[in-house]
A and B are shown apart, each in its own frame.
Chain A
Amino acid sequence: MAWTLRQTCTIMVLAVTLVALASSKPLLANPVTTAHVQAELGSAVTAIQPGASFWVVLHLRMQEGWHTYWQNPGDAGLATAIRWVLPDGFAAGNIVWPYPQRLPVGPLMNYGYEREVALLTQMTAPADLPPGQLVTLQAKTTWVVCADLCVPGAATLDLQLPVSTAQPQKDARWMAVLAQTHSALPKPAPWQVAFSTEQDRLTLLVSGSDFVATRLAEATFFPLAYGVIDHAAPQQVQITPQGLRLTLRRGTFDMTSLTRIDGVLVLQETRDGASHVQAFTISAVPGKAS
């Protein structure tokens, strides 16, 4: 029986659609929009070179007035977390966090980010990764986003990249995000830091002669662990001949057996009329500080 042109066309369209559906990749979620947060996963490179390391960015954009949290969220809230689902041989580092802001909530203090934040992860591809295929890196992310109320959120984000032995090309958009974030990433501190405790005080002494009282506008210490300091208490800074001294109010945890305090020291200086902020990772050891 001869088909009409219309019947033939219909069959063809249906056939093509079926073939397309059968061979298509599942829809990849990226970015994902949730209540108050848009989450997106990106890569600094447009292709993965076997054996190479490259930066992957989790970019969170928060609704105005809402914030997400740093690795130590402070008095309340929870840090953003990523659980990676990766092909064999891939390794993901821990999140590299830009320095946080102090976010007061009534008498409490949280540590986190407003508006947007780029959380970085260094990814390493196996050396024996066969080129010419597409690879999917999946990030199962969770966070808590708060304004005056808190909303837990989650997104499974997929990043698909081709594998190529060629020198990887940069992704302009994500390179721009990385460049913008770079100055907010803490650098290892070039100074020795000692800590001591007296009654309800914790004193940090950052030894060095680079500190100039007239230039220093603000110094803030963000401990990595909970309970080391009272997050909400004001931090007193002095510049002495020994260096920069920070007097903090102790937290609730017992410090008698503490051998190290890790954290981020953020220094805001005024130079040539402009404000410069630098963040440093410090690891303080017991010593004379006050």
Chain B
Amino acid sequence: MQRLQLYVTTILCSLAFAGIIEAVPKTGQPAPDFTAVDSNGVAHALGDYRGKIVVLEWTNHQCPFVGKHYGTGNMQALQQHATDTGVTWLSVISSAPGEQGYVSDAEANALTAKRNASPTAVLLDPQGVVGRLYDARTTPHMYIIDAAGTLVYMGGIDDKPSTHYADVKSATNYVRVALDEIRSGKPVSMPVTRPYGCSVKY
């Protein structure tokens, strides 16, 4: 039985490696490890942040759904609240060159400054490697990894899928709720929700 398991595992792993069976990220499992370069040319590996809570925020500054959260100051407030409590916030841009949302290093830094955002870093992922690793589908699409490296949240930023600025105030912000629960040592009550937004422009 053990040998059979070994064979099956080997075959499955080979197939996964060959991309035939894609492994999708799952909450309660280790978050997929990645290395990506930020808008200042600095490389970040997820493993660098073991011991810290990490938020991944997929973004595209030209998407009206992202515009709702930055235009109202909602995203910036959340970034500030998170980083103030020691959370590492990584904004990720997986737009391919020439696609909507694609930015150069300088443009990414200018955007951060102009809209008073405070991510720990902005990761530029034009080949979509990190995006596909996390199965990021929309902008925004949010993920939270706990200090042990386990993926504990994936999905929408809140429960009001729309482009109406007014909806931000009355929405339940899933990320804020999850971060509060993690800090209080509680399990994340809503680990998987519907992400909404524009499609990631791979």
Contact = CB atoms under 8 A, between A and B. Distances in A.
Interface in A155-201: 200
Interface stretch (A146-154, A205-213, A257-265, A272-280): A146-154
18 contacts: A76-B138, A76-B199, A78-B161, A78-B196, A106-B199, A106-B202, A108-B137, A108-B199, A108-B200, A146-B199, A148-B99, A148-B201, A149-B63, A150-B63, A151-B64, A152-B64, A200-B24, A252-B155
Interface in B127-150: 132, 137-138
A3 interface: no
Given A78-B161, A148-B100, A152-B163, A252 B202 contact: no
B192 A253 contact: yes
Contacts of A110: 199
A23 B181 CA distance: 61
B178 interface: no
Contact of A227 (B100, B138, B194): B194
B18 to A, nearest CB: 17
A53 B202 CA distance: 47
B137 A149 contact: no
A88 interface: no
A107 B162 contact: no
Interface in B172-202: 192, 194, 196-202
Chain B contact residues: helix, strand, loop or mixed: loop
A152 B167 CA distance: 15
A107 B132 contact: yes
Interface of B: 24, 62-65, 99-100, 132, 137-138, 154-155, 161-163, 192, 194, 196-202
B198 A146 contact: yes
A252 B199 contact: no
A144 B202 contact: no
A200 B135 CA distance: 15
Contacts of A28: none
Contact of B199 (A75, A151, A152, A200): A75
A152 B68 CA distance: 11
Contact of A144 (B24, B99, B163, B194): B163
Given A76-B137, A107-B202, A146-B198, 4 more contacts: A78-B161, A144-B64, A226-B194, A252-B24
A254 interface: yes
Contacts of B137: 75-76, 108
A279 to B, nearest CB: 24
Nearest to B60: A149
A149 B100 contact: yes
Give the residue among B138, B154, B198 with the most A Cβ atoms within 10 A: B198
Nearest to A227: B194
Contacts of B138: 75-76
